[in-house]
Amino acid sequence: MAASLSLTQLSSGNPVYDKYYRQVDPTGSGRVAAADAALFLKRSGLADLVLGKIWDLADSECKGFLNKQQFFIALRLVACAQNGLEVALKSLSLAVSPPKFHDTSSPLLPGGMAIDIPWVVKAEEKMKFDAIFESLAPVGGMLTGDKVKPVLLNSKLPVDVLGRVWELSDLDRDGMLDRDEFAVAMYLVYRALEGEPVPMSLPPPLVPPSKRKKPSVPPLMPLLPSPPSAKDGRSSHTGSKTMPHPPKPAPAPAPTPAASPWVVSPADKAKYDELFSKTDGDMDGLVSGPEVRDIFLKTGLPSATLARIWELCDIGDIGKLTREQFALALYLINQKLSKGLDPPQSLAPEMIPPSDRHSIKQNNTVNLAADFSAIKELDSLSNEIIDLQRAFLDTQSALH
């Protein structure tokens, strides 16, 4: 109710909002069908997952259509997303410029993007970004996440910000960056260092011209806002240029009787196992990000929280979850939903799935959360990384 009152005060009588509403409800019926709303909102250029969340928040009663007030909520949330704000009801009261939608009468590409929009990455910036790109020794014109990661980390930006930079830059979702995608990443990093927010979806002017002839592909699973790594399960099924995954840990022996009891109760485990069986479409005993996407998103939890849970539970660092890891993920989700408990920074001994305890002890890996300090330690400060960081700092100084 508070959100509705706030929106009424902010949007009622606004000619821009009224104009948009008349486009979807020209007869003034007071009702906007889902198909009409979806077609209109798609013109915002936002990713399908973001639009899906906006719809869920606006159609809070799950009626399958929007009244005028609810459509205004959707418009307001689009504006928030376009300005880099969180897509949440609490953002409705924030001051934000009206949303922008592409004119359907202009020539648009499949991704909803005008062909003649100039690229915001200037020629002089592109030259500097290209120099950094070449210094990272690309293979076949591509850089893997492992090569890009130390450069991103050296910016000292928060992990969730860097994760969003990676998601926005990897336009074709292949787990690698080409020269133009890397330029997008560097552009976003430098703007973030200047205090500008990283957008929730890539604005059309930021999409490289070389990518505008390709249909936009919505992210399969926004669960990994950590720096790019081989953990990203989306590249395991599609694309010819996939990131190699670390080897799957060998089957661990059963825990000894003295081991800590598991936090997931047998009753809950049985329920989670049933859901796992329905989710494991290829029946390989593992579920990937795309397979659990709908389950995670329907919880309504923020993507950063889901990301933390995913990274905690992906103990093998392979971009997929075993049956027990999946159960642990649902346990942590339920802890947040029912008790408001945030996922921990690292798994307590009693949280670790029984089948993973031996391998974790063997590898002396206690802190499993993909936080900033842990990733820096994993980089081992090799000479190669030091060189990459130096190149990044030199370029940063030149740009400023």
Q: What is the mean pLDDT of residues 353-366?
A: 66
pTM reported for the whole predicted model: 0.34
Q: How many helices (H) and strands (E) does the chain have?
A: 16, 6
Residue environment code for 325-353, b if the CB has 16+ CB neighbours within 10 A, otherwise e: bbbbbbbbbebbeeeeeebeeebeeebbb
β-bridge partners, 108: 114
Q: Which tens digit of pLDDT belongs to each residue from 117-126?
A: 678 888 888 9
* Half-sphere CA count of 42, side-chain side, radius 13 A: 15
Q: How far is CA 190 from CA 142, 195, 313, in A?
A: 21, 9, 32
Residue 397 confidence (pLDDT): 61
Residue 247 confidence (pLDDT): 39
Q: How far apart are CA 166 and CA 164, in angstroms?
A: 5
Give the SS3 label for residue 111: coil
Give the SS3 label for residue 287: strand
Residue 143 confidence (pLDDT): 92
Q: How far apart are CA 61 and CA 260, in angstroms?
A: 43
What phi and psi values does residue 29 have, to the nearest 5 degrees?
-75, -15
Nearest CA to 179 among 114, 129, 232, 233?
129
- Split at pLDDT 50, 70, 90, the class of 174 is confident
Amino acid identity of 359? S
The answer to whether the beta carbons of residues 74 and 54 sit under 8 Å apart is yes
Q: Which tens digit of pLDDT belongs to each residue from 284-305?
A: 888 888 888 878 887 777 777 8
Residue 151 structure tokens = 């450069």
The residues, ordered by sequence, that sit 6+ positions from 285 with a Cβ below 8 Å of its Cβ are 322, 323
Mean pLDDT of the residues in the chain: 74
Residue 187 structure tokens = 């552009």
DSSP letters, 326-346, are HHHHHHHHHHHHHH-PPPPSS
Q: What is the mean pLDDT of residues 52-60?
A: 86
- Split at pLDDT 50, 70, 90, the class of 259 is low
Q: Which tens digit of pLDDT belongs to each residue from 76-100?
A: 898 888 887 888 888 888 888 888 8
The answer to whether the beta carbons of residues 152 and 169 sit under 8 Å apart is no
